[in-house]
Structure 1
Amino acid sequence: MSRFDGYFLRQLLVLFGFFTLVLVGVFWITRSVSLFDRVISGGQSAMVFLEFTALTLPTLIRTVMPMAVFAAAVYATNRLSRESEMTVMLATGSSPWRLARAVFIFGLIAGLMMAAISVFLRPASVDQLERRQAEVAGDVTAQLLNEGEFLHPAPGVTVYIGQIDLDGTLHEVFVSDRRDDANPVSYSSTTAYLVNNDAGIHLVMVDGVALRLNEQDKTLSSTLFEDASYDISELTSSGDMAHRSLEAIPTVEFIEDIEAASATYGFTHGQLVEELHQRFSWIAICITVALVGYSTLMLGSFSRFGLWPQIFGAFTILIVLEGVRGFVAPIVIDDPKLWPILYGPGIMGIMISCLFLLVAGRPLIRQRNRQDVAVPSPV
């Protein structure tokens, strides 16, 4: 690697780190607002919010990394061109193909980082996130211990607690259970306690009244009690969280026996094949976006105003390639044997980059075409 390659590569890596931090920060702030509201309103602590945020970072980084790679390649190439460094290198005999070596190495480094995230880190983080969400959703105590709020821990159930003492005593407790439409019941008590034992979680209410409505007879009966136990174990809203999502399945299970994974998790063979190759296709995307950003800008000539038409063209190419990726995914789900087309957008981008570098490496062709257009026709 020459000094210029090392210099160019350092510029790319520094800009890549900068754009990654900026994009992750912007997307993190956008997503964390809704996440913070859901976690805190569910009675959880700020540590749970930070844990959930950390577990979502691999997914967020995978999303923004191709954008950061493209922005770094475009910005570095544009700056070297604007400061005439690229022009000097081309004048000394270096071809665009030769200068693309640093960009290819940069794309390869980004692809290796993407491989670690997409193939290993993201499935593990999604799996852990789903487990923690199930635990938090099943934490009935955290869902109920909110003063002065009407809470709905389950469909048809409403709970209100007026005050909570430091020793855990609950005051002004109201529970409305409408899960049985024929016999809805409401409990009200001055004090109550949460008791967790082997039989489950119970709300023990003291000095209260139970109101039961009989829909058939249209009668309301009331029962005064000194103490009553209400089982709230069934109010856990964990749902079917034991079922892994497609993104949470480890890549090793895909590779070892994809048919066993299909039978275990209930996904079709096409869905598993598409997910597996999508994880690896992100590696090729990192290399592609770096080469597209560089090669498109190499088509432009020196200008102190920058290479904005070429930048817009490179961005348009990426939009087209992303559209192709979204188009081929359903095809692979329907017919898993067509999985090679998932790598088609990456291969298309590399071929377009090679074509642009071929044109950029033959400036006489472009100059001759411009001269042919500029020469006036004889009178």
Structure 2
Amino acid sequence: MARIDRYMLSQLLVMFGFFSLVLVALFWINRAVVLFDRLIGDGQSAMVFLEFTALGLPKLIVTVLPIATFSASVYVTNRMTGESELTVLQAAGAGPWRLARPVFVFGLCVAAMMTVLSHFLVPMAEGQLKQREAEVSRNLTARLLTAGVFLHPTDDVTFYTREIDSDGVLRDVFLSDRRNREEGVIYTAAEAYLTRNGDATTLIMVNGMAQRHNTVSKRLATAKFRDFSFDISPLVGEDGAANQTPRSMITPELLWNWPAIAARSGSSEGDVAEELHGRFAQPLFCLVAAMIGFATLMQGSFSRFGVWREAVIAFALLIAIDGMRGTLVTQVREAAALWPLLYLPALIGALLSLAMLWQAAHPGWTRRVARKESRA
């Protein structure tokens, strides 16, 4: 590799690392706030929060890689244009095709990273995350045994206990069950105990009262009890392991027998096809993002203010191609046989990049054609 290629490639990789770090940090903070509120609010420890955050990072990195690739390509090309570096190189005989070589190598490097992430690291992290979510949902201590806090195991259930003794007795219990829209029930008890009965989990309340409010007849009925058992198994989740979905399976497991995978995971063959071929299309999209950023900016002439107009055009092109990809995903999920459509955005982006590079290498062809037509 020539020295100029190494120079451009190093600049691209440095800016790619910078943009990736910034974007991952921004997306991570946004996700961490929601995750922190959900986990810590349910009584989980900080270690569980950190574990869930780490397992979500591979998917987050996959999301920002195309954006960081495009941003690095546009930034480096714009800076080298503004500092006349590309002008000097072109004056020395380096054409757009020659200058695009390090950008293409840069795109291949990012595509290789995306390949490892999308085919192996993200599915493995997704599978582990689903397993941990199933374990957390079954954790009674975190879901119910938190004194002095109103907890919401589900949207329509509220639980509160004033104190928890060292022997596990719950003091001054409040339980509101609003799952039945026609009748809400509020249970209050002086004491309560959690017991296991096979796969079921039961809350036994002692010396309490049940208040039933019928929303249809607008009547309130109360009943005192000495002991009352309440099955809370639906609130804390099932003990079975979470079903393995196509997203949590590495690529070699998705290559064959789509009907069996769909039946086992409860999804459709289209979901399996979209997941598999989407993993192959994502690295290609990273390569296209780098080339579109470079090729579009090569259309601009030298300016002290840079080529920001071309940068806006490049951004619009990338958004259009990505929007097309989102539309095609829906079609593939409905019909698995349409999986080749997932590669169409990358193909269109590649053709656009080649056309713009050809235009940059032959800037006067439109004038020559117009001159020939005027003579004719």
Which band: TM-score by shorter chain? 0.7 to 0.9
Supply the distance in 1 between the matched residues of 2:292 and 2:175 (Cα, whole angstroms).
Answer: 62
Match of 1:161 in 2: 161
User: Which sits farther off after the overlay, 75-84 or 11-20?
Assistant: 75-84
Q: Which amino acid aligns with 1:83?
A: E
Tell me what 1:144 maps to: 144
Q: Are 2:147 and 2:164, in contact at CA under 8 Å, matched by a contact in 1? A: yes
**In structure 2, do the counterparts of structure 1 residues 210 and 361 end up closer, same or farther at CA, with 3 Å as the change threshold?**
same
CA contact (8 A) 1:123 1:249 kept: yes
Q: 1:321 — aligned with what? A: 321
**Counterpart in 2 of 1:299?**
299
Q: Does 1:106 find its partner at 2:106?
A: yes
Comparing 175-184 with 238-247, greater Cα deviation is found at: 175-184
Which region of structure 1 is more displaced relative to structure 2, 71-80 or 135-144? 135-144
Q: In structure 1, what is the Cα distance between the partners aligned to 2:94 and 2:181?
A: 81
Are the counterparts in 2 of residues 130 and 241 from structure 1 also a CA contact under 8 Å? no
Opposite residue 284 of structure 1, the aligned amino acid is L
Q: Counterpart in 2 of 1:209?
A: 208
CA distance in 2, matches of 1:180, 1:350: 56
Matched, 1:119 2:119: yes
TM-score (structure 1 length as normaliser): 0.86
The 10-residue stretch of structure 1 (175-184 or 259-268) with the greater mean CA deviation from structure 2? 175-184
In the TM superposition, what are the counterparts of 1:1-379 in structure 2 within 5 Å? 1-153=1-153, 157-165=157-165, 168-175=168-175, 188-194=188-194, 201-203=201-203, 208-211=207-210, 220-224=222-226, 232-238=232-238, 242-365=242-365, 368=367
Q: Given residue 222 of structure 1, which amino acid in structure 2 is its aligned partner? A: K
Once the two structures are aligned, what percentage of the paired residues are identical?
A: 46
The secondary structure found in structure 1 opposite 2:255 is: helix
Distance change >3 Å, CA 326–CA 174, structure 1 → 2: closer
Q: How has the CA–CA distance of structure 1 residues 149 and 289 changed in structure 2, closer, same or farther, with 3 Å as cutoff?
A: same
Q: How far apart, CA to CA, are the structure 2 residues paired with 1:112 and 1:352?
A: 22
Q: TM-score, length-normalised on structure 2?
A: 0.86
Secondary structure (helix, strand or coil) at the match of 2:326 reads helix
Unaligned runs of 5+ in 2: 372-376
Task: Name the aligned partner's letter for residue 361 of structure 1.
Answer: A
Counterparts of 1:246 and 1:315, CA distance in 2: 32
Per-residue CA shift, 1:202-223, capped at 9, x if unaligned? Answer: 54556x2354769999864423
CA offset at residue 74 of structure 1?
0.5
Q: Is the 8 A contact 1:258 1:272 kept in 2?
A: yes
Distance 1:182 1:35 in 2: 33
**Partner Cα distance (1:241, 1:307) in 2:** 55
Deviation track 1:258-301 (CA, whole Å, cap 9, x = no partner) reads 23212212322222112211111001001000000001111111
Aligned residues of 1:281 and 1:343 also touching (Cα < 8 A): yes
**Unmatched runs of 5 consecutive residues or more in structure 1:** 373-379
Report which stretch shifted further, 268-277 or 86-95.
268-277
Tell me the secondary structure at the aligned position of residue 117 of structure 2: helix
Q: 1:334: Cα distance to partner?
A: 3.5
Task: Label 1:188 to 1:11 Cα distance change in 2 as closer, same or farther (>3 A).
Answer: same
Q: For the Cα contact (< 8 Å) 1:153–1:237, is it kept in 2?
A: no
Shift of 1:108: 0.3
CA distance in structure 2 between the partners assigned to 1:102 and 1:247 by the alignment:
33
8 Å contact kept, 1:82–1:305: yes
> What whole-Å deviation, never above 9, does each CA across 1:190-234 have from its counterpart, x for those lacking one?
44454568676554556x235476999986442336xx7655445
- How far is the alpha carbon of 1:146 from its aligned partner? 2.4
Query: For structure 1, which segment, 190-199 or 209-218, has the greater mean C-alpha deviation from structure 2 after superposition?
Result: 209-218
| CA shift in 2, pair 1:160/1:67, >3 Å | same
Amino acid at match of 1:264: R
Per the TM alignment, residue 337 of structure 1 is displaced from its structure 2 partner at its CA by 2.7
Cα deviation 1:15-63 (Å, max 9, x = unaligned): 0000000011111111211111111111111111111111111111111
The alignment's C-alpha RMSD in Å is: 3.2
Aligned partners of 1:300 and 1:310 also within 8 Å: yes
